[in-house]
Amino acid sequence: MKIKSLEEIYLFSLPIKESEIIDFFLGASLKDEVLKIMPVQKQTRAGQRTRFKAFVAIGDYNGHVGLGVKCSKEVATAIRGAIILAKLSIVPVRRGYWGNKIGKPHTVPCKVTGRCGSVLVRLIPAPRGTGIVSAPVPKKLLMMAGIDDCYTSARGCTATLGNFAKATFDAISKTYSYLTPDLWKETVFTKSPYQVLPAQPAR
């Protein structure tokens, strides 16, 4: 059995351990953006050791988004590592409607909340044409996720960009956690790829 789409991986909750898997399925449609590069310091006997921490958001603007954080001695290495981690953390985004189900889904399906540290981010469905009403950081993540209209509400220390981005990502990834009435119909479960694939002979 060959896995034909990323959705099959999500259906069986298989861990994605290589960033090339994401490249294979989403490839050209993926766009990444560096949210912030900040120096972090550690006190050692010889003095302070400075490293660079990079926050990178990645998405295909059509229902997939990821966030990666990496610390390294050099900026370029930190960015490269953050892009790989962002690919590994890619989650599917469920989109829905604000009112009548006309056209393609354009907003979040229901109110969702995500948090990280003191930061709490709430995403609220908005009517078509509203746009994304939010601060610059969540706006980038929501755009990459393919959400066109959304109201947001944030509280806590949103100046901490890392926590703000993580809280938004947490909220976006919860869109598939809510069991709404349109998902009540019985799901026909098939075997996981791990059960279908023949066991490799031990060498």
Section 165-173 average pLDDT: 97
Q: What is the pLDDT of residues 22-42, one digit of tens each?
A: 999 998 899 999 999 999 999
Spatial distance between the Cα atoms of 52 and 54, rounded to a whole number of angstroms? 6
Tally Cβ neighbours within 10 Å of residue 200.
Answer: 6
Separation between Cα atoms, residue 102 and residue 123, nearest integer Å: 21
**Do 61 and 133 belong to one domain?**
no
Residue with tokens 């953050």: 82
Say if CB 144 and CB 58 are below 8 A apart: yes
pTM: 0.92
State the pLDDT at residue 21. Answer: 94
Mean pLDDT within 78-88: 97
Same domain for 17 and 85: yes
Range of the domain at 51: 6-92
Q: How large is the average pLDDT for residues 2-19?
A: 91
Question: So what's the pLDDT on residue 61?
Answer: 94
Residue with tokens 């119909």: 185
What does pLDDT average to over the chain?
A: 93
Residue 171 in domain: yes
Residues 55 and 27 in one domain: yes
